[in-house]
Structure 1
Amino acid sequence: MFKFWRQSRRRSPLALLAFLAAAWPATAAELRLVMFEQPGCVYCDRWNTEIAPQYPLTDEGKAAPVRRLQLREPLPPGLELARPVTFTPTFVLTADDVEAGRLEGYPGEDFFWPLLAGLIAVAEPAP
């Protein structure tokens, strides 16, 4: 890309702005883990016991803080899902309030962490 700029015959201000926009690193999207739950959900209770206390202290919790929503409540304005949530728990990873990935159900803590780390790795831009 820098070679292109050096070889360019026209170095107008617009060309410079276009060059800088293409070369500038993209800003990271705000990630959130949206947990859809409902009263009486046994697997939600398991997640709350096994994962919730340590979640904010983990790299995943810092990268994608959890936001809890009730399954039967209307979606907050601006939240865009790829498809409706039909059961609990469902964990939707969002990037700037747009669905970037989903885990349906709670597979236990041994599987939850690597699955979530994989979703975050796909949603975060490479450095």
Structure 2
Amino acid sequence: MRHVLAFIAVLFSAAASPASGELRLVMLEQDGCAYCARWNREIAPIYPKTPEGKAAPLERADIRGPYPDGLSFKPSPVFTPTFILVADGRETGRIEGYAGDDFFWGLLGRLLEQSGQYQMETGE
């Protein structure tokens, strides 16, 4: 019986926390944010279909929290949107604000590369 309970506890803890090596992009936003709305129009519909979106699925949270999976960010985010790349439950980089799709994709690509868990595809 004790082994069964231990096994069930392992299953629940694995389901509740991200897998090792998993990348996530946490978007911190707030109601009334014009730049968040612009990102939602320009990027949100295509993001999950891109290699970046598949490598780092998007999670959303209000800038004031609570954050997914009990994450905490230091320094505390101030601007919306703020995009925080999370690897293994820890922040590896962030993008503050949204200045357009070219800037977003370029900055995100750099963060993903720097994480060491993603390699950009080249057109060669």
Same fold (TM over 0.5): yes
Instruction: Indicate which of 94, 98, 102 corresponds to 2:90.
Output: 98
**2:107 corresponds to 1:111:** no
Structure 1 residues 77 and 62: CA distance shift in structure 2, 3 A: closer
Verify the 8 A CA contact 1:36 1:71 in the aligned structure 2. Answer: yes
Report the structure number with the largest CA radius of gyration.
1
Instruction: Indicate which of 65, 68, 91 corresponds to 2:60.
Output: 68
User: In structure 1, what is the Cα distance between the partners aligned to 2:92 and 2:45?
Assistant: 24
User: In structure 2, what is the Cα distance between the partners aligned to 1:100 and 1:85?
Assistant: 14
CA shift for structure 1 position 84: 0.5
User: In structure 2, what is the Cα distance between the partners aligned to 1:65 and 1:126?
Assistant: 13
Instruction: Indicate which of 74, 96, 111 corresponds to 1:82.
Output: 74
Q: Number of aligned residue pairs: give it.
A: 101
- Could you tell me which runs of 5 or more consecutive residues in structure 2 were left unpaired when the two chains were aligned: 1-18, 120-124
**2:34 corresponds to 1:45:** no
CA shift for structure 1 position 29: 1.2
TM-score by length of 2: 0.74
The AA in structure 2 aligned to 1:41 is: C
Q: Residues 23-44 of structure 1, C-alpha deviation per residue, up to 9 Å, x if partnerless?
A: xxxx961100000000100000
- CA RMSD between the two structures: 2.0
User: In structure 1, what is the Cα distance between the partners aligned to 2:75 and 2:102?
Assistant: 27
User: In structure 2, what is the Cα distance between the partners aligned to 1:37 and 1:30?
Assistant: 22
User: In structure 2, what is the Cα distance between the partners aligned to 1:118 and 1:104?
Assistant: 14
Identity of counterpart residues, as a percentage?
A: 55
- Could you tell me which runs of 5 or more consecutive residues in structure 1 were left unpaired when the two chains were aligned: 1-26
